[in-house]
A = this chain, B = another copy of it.
Amino acid sequence: MKRRGDTENKIIQAALEIFVRKGYHGTSVHEITSKAGLTKGALYSHFSGKGDLLLRIIDEFKSRFIGGMVDTLKQSSGNALNRIHDVISFNSRFAQDNQHLCVFLTFLTTELNADVDFEPALKGTYLEYRKVISEIISQGIRQGLFKKNLDPDVAALTFMALHDGVLHQWVLNRYHLDGELYVRTFREVFLNGLVREEISIERTVEQMQSNSSKGSENGTSGGI
């Protein structure tokens, strides 16, 4: 017997895949339904329109990705460093198991963040995401594990930035890139940086001296 949810999922999966590959406005309703083995009319008996379909996918992302991170953290005991590791592992597994969904938020947000119909849902999802990461970083700073001069929210944004960017690069180079190597590099760079520890320590001292004498040299780079 055919169940209602099955067709909806077929449509959602087809739409998700094409949205990610060609963008929202680059994807036609016809293309979605024909990929799902249906005709256009069928979509409108399950969704109120193309926009509604997108919002449903955003919900799907929210519950699967954000929800999954939250669940992971509930079961994660240990200090903030362990918890960050657990989150990275979850994200890595999630990307592996949901090749299209994992980049959905990033990709669609670049196109639709100024669209009144979708901006609230997209920004809201990013906010939930940030809160999860920010909390861990705050905890890590309190526990003396992470650098205390970091703003937790900004550091969380940096984490998300790196994560989004890595996924982006990974998708662009999917067939020419060793995924495992890449994720190891991601971990290593985010947690410990590019620079060798010995060098890093010398450099920090050197920088503090030059900064205190030069004053606000950084002003020229304000604004990213």
Interface, chain A (partner B; CB < 8 A): 21-26, 81, 84, 88-89, 91-93, 95-96, 103, 106-107, 109-115, 123, 126, 137, 140, 144-147, 150-151, 154-155, 157-173, 177-186, 188-197, 199-201, 203-204, 218-224
Contacts and interface: CB of A to CB of B under 8 A. Distances in A.
A147 B186 CA distance: 13
Nearest to A164: B165
Nearest to A88: B221
A191 B188 contact: no
Contacts of A106: 110, 168
Given A158-B189, A194-B150, A180 B222 contact: yes
Contacts of A113: 171-172
B26 A179 contact: no
Contacts of A220: 89, 92-93
A197 B106 CA distance: 32
15 contacts: A21-B114, A23-B25, A25-B26, A84-B194, A96-B223, A110-B111, A147-B194, A147-B196, A157-B173, A162-B165, A180-B222, A182-B224, A183-B221, A191-B194, A192-B193
